[in-house]
Structure 1
Amino acid sequence: MEKIVIKIGSNLLIKNNEINKRFIINLSSIISTLIDGGKKIVIVSSGANAAGLKYLNLHPLKSLSQKQALCAVGQVQLMKIYEQAFNFYNKKIAQILLTRDDFSNRYRFLNLKNTLIGLNQLNIIPIINENDTISIEEIKFGDNDLLSAYFAVGWGADGLIILTSVDGIYDKNGEIIDEYNDSINLLKLKKTSFGTGGINSKISAGKMASYSGIKTCICNGNYLENIKKFSSGENPGTIFLPNKKMKNKKAWIAFLSKSKGKIYVNEGAKDAILKRKSLLPVGIEKIEGDFTKGDPVNIFFKNKLIAKGLVNFTKDEIVSLKGKKSNEILKDFDYEEFIHADNLVIMN
């Protein structure tokens, strides 16, 4: 694995209600060693809220506006600690604050990728967090597990390691699961005191990343040597084995883009899609939502999601064209496909 995303949970970063500086120093030592060995590393880090509370000497706040202000203050303090820790190892860092829209908007997503290319060329370590100061419910990730998976998919990472305060995912008998699959009955664990995600969000992140071809591990971050073990191919916790690597564009369509509508298709169109063929207007039965050319939409057969893709027509155009054959469409339009196979992803 050359490109690795490391997600740090809140309970690892916070000790006695403040940022655990010793933990960050040890973390920076491990990461610096990996970088010196040729790895490219991105850190997804929580902790802004706790850093802000400590800096301002406050108790937890309830008002949304005050919480957002607190994160704005705390993010500065958190980055100072990371900067000082990595300075010991002659490494430079950069801060990137993101919302969900930065991934779902294709133009902003490509700008983010260009920024990462520049940081890699300059040997600077990106440290990622959610932009809590401007996030509202519609564009929030909700927890950094999901953010780390989005970022790993968008960056085209080879590996994602989610560090938490437990050894991995437990089955109903309390045994660690070496390799995750959906058929295993899991032990229900409560959310940790500072974290927002819980084990379910970690599983969702692991599944998203592995479906995109990224090897993922959930393991105990109290033993930072687990990072080295994972990067060298060992399994220090619960592994999500990767599927075949998705092309960047299809990974963006499947997991990062935000659907603008729903398309319901007949059985013939469903069969064609599952054979990885294009969706033609003749196979469309019903349309919901409001979309324009180039927007992503979800495709359903009998209320079951089967695919997702980028459209060649606006909603108004396809309303007038649905059910028509290709020779009728090509009289007035450049495309016969509503969604071309190259812009279509089957959703399992």
Structure 2
Amino acid sequence: MATLNDARRIVVKIGSALLVDRASGRLREDWLHALAEDVVALKARGADVVLVSSGSIALGRGVLRLPPTPLPLEQSQAAASVGQIRLARAYEEALAPHGITTGQVLVTLEDSADRRRYLNSRATLETLLSFGVVPIVNENDTVATDEIRYGDNDRLAAQVAATVGADLLVLLSDVDGLYTANPNTDPDARHLPLIDAITPEIEAMAGDAGSGLSKGGMKTKVMAARTATASGCAMLIGQGAPLHALKALAEGARSTLFTPLLDPHAARKRWIAAMKPQGTLIVDDGAAQALQQGKSLLPAGLSAVEGPFGRGDPVTIRDRAGRVLGQGLVRYTATEARAIAGHKSAEIEAILGYPGRAVLIHRDDMAL
């Protein structure tokens, strides 16, 4: 099970209260620069890092001089628009001196609910990480409404962790983990350092969605843990307010660790294998052999296409003898796949009239 000292891919969720001073509405620059130093240390040992950060509305509220009360939707979206620029710039200025490039990724709930958009988001994040970039992910509050939003960044962070195949999700919070009851009101509340299963009793300890512990409270964190651990990702809840919070957690600061149900790679493969296929790709002998060696499926190895399907749909992969090799999420429609079947990836743009992905099915989107 991954910890902060050995995880290969880490998603860190940062709440508004950690980044923005509530009284002044200004960025806590000392805290952000300490966080940047912790991220540098994680990357120095070879870890990929994704930051899921709130703060755009809180920063924009201060700039626009909006009151510290609940805002109408249009004012909230305006504050997000103004604040998001400042939030992205703050991360860039904190990490650039250490030689780390940042990238901004704004998402809505539809980006994970729609399979095609999910695959596009995943491909973008994977490419950013392959270049050593630290993506800064936030919900696109400028356009999101209640009907199409995650609602809290705990939930968003868990989805991002599942999307990128992270082995550890860290929720930096105002508390140092899960307790048997609310420690602010119950002197007998006990801290729980390790959770191996999210039982109804554990959910009850987190409080109700309408309690003072939510939004962004313990209820949403346990819900996030359910998503993360089901995808093979461990989740850590720790105190985020002190400087160098990640370093402190790595050195053993009090926290709660939720253990994963299985490793991220196996969890994703199982998810893909359980989908109902929308069509079939028939591959030649060379491609069949390459797939067994862990390679992606290229257009050159495709012999025939059966059935209608869209981009991102699950399809069955068969060899010419009719043997089922596995299942995967295809990156082209059936019409596009038929047009580029048997052709090299470099020929795709000339055939389709627009640039396309180099592979039909990436090996990470395939269950053999």
Q: What is the aligned partner in structure 2 of residue 51 from structure 1?
A: 59
Give the letter for the 2:131 counterpart: L
2:262 aligned with 1:244: yes
From the superposition, tell whether residues 170 and 137 of structure 1 become closer, same or farther in structure 2 (CA, over 3 Å). Answer: same
8 A contact 1:146–1:201 mirrored in 2: yes
Match of 1:27 in 2: 35
Name which of 94, 97, 115 aligns with 1:88.
Answer: 97
Counterpart amino acid of 2:255? G
Q: 1:128 and 1:161 mapped to 2: Cα distance? A: 14
Distance (Å, rounded) in 2 between the aligned partners of 1:187 and 1:95: 32
Kept in 2: contact 1:100–1:141 (CA 8 A): yes
**Residue 76 of structure 1: how far off its partner (Å):** 0.3
Amino acid at match of 1:134: V
Displacement of 1:53: 1.6
* Identity across matched positions, percent: 34
Q: What SS does the aligned partner of 2:82 have?
A: helix
Matched AA of 1:110: L
Q: Is contact 2:40–2:98 with CA below 8 Å preserved after alignment?
A: yes
Partner Cα separation in structure 1 for residue 245 and residue 73 of structure 2: 36
CA contact (8 A) 1:13 1:47 kept: yes
1:159–1:215 contact (8 Å) kept in structure 2:
yes
Contact 2:171–2:238 (8 Å) recurs in 1: yes
Q: Distance in 2 between matches of 1:253 and 1:26?
A: 42
How many angstroms apart in 2 are the aligned matches of 1:134 and 1:114?
22
Cα RMSD of the aligned pairs, angstroms, is 3.0
Paired with 2:145 and 2:36, the residues of 1 have a C-alpha distance of 32
Task: Give the whole-Å Cα distance in 2 for the aligned partners of 1:90 and 1:191.
Answer: 41
1:187–1:118 CA distance, 2 compared to 1 (3 A): closer
**Structure-2 residue corresponding to 1:12:** 18
1:217 to 213, 233, 236: 236
Query: Which is further off, 67-76 or 84-93?
Result: 84-93
Alignment of 1:36 with 2:44, yes or no, is yes
Structure 1 position 163 matched with structure 2 position 172: yes
Could you say which residue in structure 2 is the equivalent of 1:324?
none
Distance 1:26 1:154, change over 3 A: same
Contact in 2 for aligned 1:83/1:92 (Cα 8 Å): yes
8 A Cα contact 2:10 2:170, kept in partner: yes
2:343 corresponds in structure 1 to: none
- Residues 296-323 of structure 1: CA distance to partner in whole angstroms, max 9, x if unpaired? 9xxxxxxxxxxxxx9xxxxxxxxxxxxx
Provide closer, same or farther for how the CA distance between residues 187 and 6 of structure 1 changes in structure 2, counting only shifts above 3 A: closer
Write the deviation string for residues 137-186 of structure 1: whole angstroms up to 9, x where unpaired: 22210000000000101111000010101111111332211122423462
5 Å matches for 1:134-145?
134-145=143-154
Native 8 Å contact 2:162 2:231 kept in 1? yes
- Equivalent position of 1:125 in the other structure: 134
| 1:72 aligned counterpart, secondary structure | helix
For 1:84 and 1:137, the matched residues in 2 are separated by 32
* Contact preservation (8 Å) 1:217, 1:235: no
| Aligned counterpart, 2:108 | 99
* 1:179 aligned residue: 194
TM-score normalised by length of structure 1: 0.67
What displacement does 1:222 show?
Answer: 2.1
Report the AA paired with residue 241 of structure 1: T
Code of the residue aligned with 1:105 in structure 2: it is D
What secondary structure, in the 3-state scheme, does the structure 1 residue paired with 2:57 have?
Answer: helix
- Whether contact under 8 Å (1:191, 1:197) holds in the other structure is no
Cα 1:134/1:187, change in 2 over 3 Å: closer
How do 1:64-75 and structure 2 match up within 5 A?
Answer: 64-75=73-84
Provide the secondary structure at the position in 1 that maps to 2:66. Answer: coil
Extract unaligned runs of 5+ from structure 2. 1-6, 182-187, 276-308, 315-327, 329-365
Q: Say if 1:169 and 1:177, in contact at 8 Å, map to a contact too.
A: yes
- Separation in structure 1 between the aligned mates of residue 111 and residue 117 of structure 2, nearest angstrom: 5
Unaligned 5+ segments in structure 1 are: 258-291, 297-309, 311-342, 344-348
SS of the residue corresponding to residue 32 of structure 2 reads: helix
Shift of 1:253: 9.3
Answer whether contact 2:232 2:267 (CA < 8 A) is retained. Answer: no
Point out the more displaced range, 196-205 or 39-48. Answer: 196-205
Distance 1:250 1:136 in 2: 32
Moved more, 170-179 or 208-217: 170-179
Which residue identity is paired with 1:31?
V
